């Protein structure tokens, strides 16, 4: 009809572009990847005229992949993304959660051939896994705090001797001491924050109507960690010094096994906490939750603690978290891919993975800040399958925003927005979603997610079909304009395998895309596979240096 474009000017006009559109930017053939640097993430992967053609986003992005179970998110998006990253000229390092071991099997050998250092954390089978002790960063930070007092040095300034500390000269020794004590306390506060975060993740308060026992068990875990840190210093309260090798959950369980349980009626610490100095953080925590409580209360607290720590009695978890076979600080030295295989039905596995991820991105942020440029030279990606089952990461809504500017990115895979809302709360979950500049939607069974994603796709305006009743041909005396969803909820529920809708911030359009499943692509099917049972670790977690020998100095006034 005449003048329709003019009539619609100023109304909603979001466009839907199909994957067959020849004008799609950042489109290359798979064969061209080794000679191409693409600053973006995968948006389309399909065959055309016998060639595998791929389209990438306009830049590196945080990505949200929304797909209900069995819709092919792993085979259509995750595996092709990893294989395509590996083939490109600039190699992005990755940390990949792998709940079924499928990602390692399909991509690890290709990554190795492309020059990657491939690591496997395998919580299914400790015999074929690297080891990672989540407590080591806390131990190292505590040791760093102890050594702050050794940092001041005497220097000559003109004709005078002065003290230099933290880049500043001091004439007054008392002022120097104040600064040393201040920086030491600041570092110890950081240690305390790390301990609080770790304990809150492993001992959650689930019985909200009666939180005392779980809250007390969490405080007891804090007491153990502080006691072990104190026993790593010069004034240890126990004859056996704690080292980096013995600072582990395995040691906590070993110490606890030597507490006394007299005929099932009382529980005391055999002098482990009670011999410490009054200023001991460990003593203060233990007094409130163990030493000065009635015998039955002590017994119940320890029973709750044992229940929460039960997973670390399992052979695989205890051995894998007992020591370190690789250092997170090396993951940027060369292209690296760390696969984390786990049992997706075990809640604590998600907790351990979450801690590993937090430890890694904190290190990467520090490395980016120290680089002088404020960002990593090469993009680093966290590809986190089943992210909706991960426990809430502290301040993740601000972390994900800060990471983007430092060349650190997340590909988060979840089943629905409801999953994020349950873990983070609706407000924080919305902030996390807002930071995902690209959304890949394969489908969802959640009506609220379908409605929300349809709204995210935007709307377009048209002249109402009813207007044709008001005139003939191109000339209408009367007309009405209506605004309708670009992609309806019903359309989002009916995709063929591999089809999806992709939204990208500031792109000006919504893309109806196709991501062929990797096993339908000859380019991927011919690649070698890897077996987890062939994986070998260089460190023996059974080595005696990782085993703590329990010796308590004496009994105390708290022993009954």
Residue 477 pLDDT > 70, yes or no? no
Q: What is the average per-residue pLDDT within 341-358?
A: 86
Q: What is the pLDDT, as a whole number, of residue 489?
A: 92
Beta strands in 158-257 (DSSP E): 160-165, 168-170
From CA 176, how far away is CA 167, in angstroms rounded? Answer: 12
Q: Which pLDDT band holds residue 70 (cuts at 50, 70, 90)?
A: confident
Note the pLDDT of residue 328.
Answer: 83
- pLDDT at residue 415, as a whole number: 94
Report pLDDT digits (tens) over 130-174. Answer: 999 999 999 999 999 999 999 999 888 888 888 889 889 988 888
Task: List, in order, residues 6 or more apart from 7 with CB less than 8 Å away.
Answer: 463, 479, 481
Does 6 score more than 70 pLDDT?
A: no
pLDDT at 512: 96
Average pLDDT over residues 467-486: 66
Supply the DSSP symbol for 382. E
266, 547 Cβ separation under 8 angstroms: no
Beta bridge partners of 44: 55
Q: Judge whether residue 471 has pLDDT over 60.
A: no
Packing angle of the helix pair 173-202, 136-146 (nearest 10 deg): 170
Chain Cα centroid distance, residue 157: 48
Domains located in the chain, CATH noted: 4-127+341-527 (3.40.50.300), 136-316+542-546 (no CATH)
């Amino acid at each position: 009809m005449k003048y329709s474009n003019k009539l619609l000017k100023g109304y909603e006009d979001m466009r839907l572009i199909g994957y067959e559109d020849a004008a799609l930017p950042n489109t290359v053939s798979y064969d061209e990847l080794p000679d191409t640097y693409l600053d973006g993430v995968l948006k389309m992967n399909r065959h055309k005229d016998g060639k595998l053609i791929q389209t990438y986003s306009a830049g590196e992005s945080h990505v949200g992949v929304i797909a209900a179970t069995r819709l092919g998110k792993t085979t259509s998006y995750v595996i092709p993304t990893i294989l395509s990253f590996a083939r490109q000229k600039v190699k992005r390092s990755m940390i990949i959660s792998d709940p079924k071991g499928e990602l390692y099997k399909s991509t690890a050998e290709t990554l190795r051939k492309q020059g990657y250092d491939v690591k496997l954390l395998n919580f299914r089978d400790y015999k074929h896994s690297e080891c990672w002790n989540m407590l080591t960063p806390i131990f190292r930070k505590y040791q760093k705090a102890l050594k702050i007092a050794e940092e001041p040095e005497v220097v000559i300034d003109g004709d005078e001797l002065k003290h230099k500390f933290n880049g500043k000269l001091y004439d007054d020794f008392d002022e120097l001491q104040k600064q040393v004590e201040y920086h030491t306390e600041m570092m110890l506060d950081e240690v305390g924050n790390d301990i609080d975060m770790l304990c809150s993740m492993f001992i959650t308060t689930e019985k909200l109507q009666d939180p005392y026992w779980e809250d007390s068990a969490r405080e007891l875990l804090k007491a153990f960690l502080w006691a072990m840190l104190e026993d790593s210093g010069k004034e240890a309260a126990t004859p056996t010094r704690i080292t980096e090798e013995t600072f582990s959950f395995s040691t906590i369980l070993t110490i606890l096994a030597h507490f006394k349980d007299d005929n099932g009626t009382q529980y005391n610490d055999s002098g482990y906490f009670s011999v410490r100095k009054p200023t001991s953080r460990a003593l203060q925590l233990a007094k409130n939750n163990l030493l000065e409580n009635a015998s039955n209360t002590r017994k119940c607290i320890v029973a709750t603690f044992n229940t929460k720590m039960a997973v670390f009695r399992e052979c695989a978890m205890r051995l894998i978290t007992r020591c370190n076979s690789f250092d997170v600080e090396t993951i940027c030295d060369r292209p690296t891919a760390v696969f984390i295989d786990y049992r997706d039905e075990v809640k604590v596995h998600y907790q351990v993975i979450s801690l590993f991820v937090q430890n890694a991105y904190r290190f990467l942020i520090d490395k980016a800040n120290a680089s002088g440029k404020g960002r990593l030279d090469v993009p680093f990606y966290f590809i986190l399958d089943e992210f909706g089952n991960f426990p809430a990461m502290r301040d993740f809504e601000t972390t994900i925003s800060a990471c983007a500017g430092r060349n650190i990115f997340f590909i988060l895979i979840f089943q629905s927005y409801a999953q994020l809302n349950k873990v983070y709360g609706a407000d924080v979950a919305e902030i996390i979603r807002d930071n995902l500049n690209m959304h890949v939607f394969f489908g969802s069974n959640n009506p609220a997610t379908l409605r929300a994603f349809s709204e995210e796709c935007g709307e377009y305006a048209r002249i109402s079909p009813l207007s044709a009743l008001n005139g003939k041909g191109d000339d209408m005396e009367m007309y009405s304009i209506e605004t309708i969803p670009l992609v309806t909820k019903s359309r989002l529920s009916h995709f063929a395998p591999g089809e999806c809708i992709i939204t990208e911030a500031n792109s000006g359009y919504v893309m109806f895309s196709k991501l062929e499943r990797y096993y339908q692509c000859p380019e991927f099917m011919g690649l070698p596979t890897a077996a987890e049972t062939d994986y070998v670790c260089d460190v023996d977690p059974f080595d005696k240096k990782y085993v703590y020998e329990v010796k308590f100095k004496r009994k105390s006034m708290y022993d009954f």
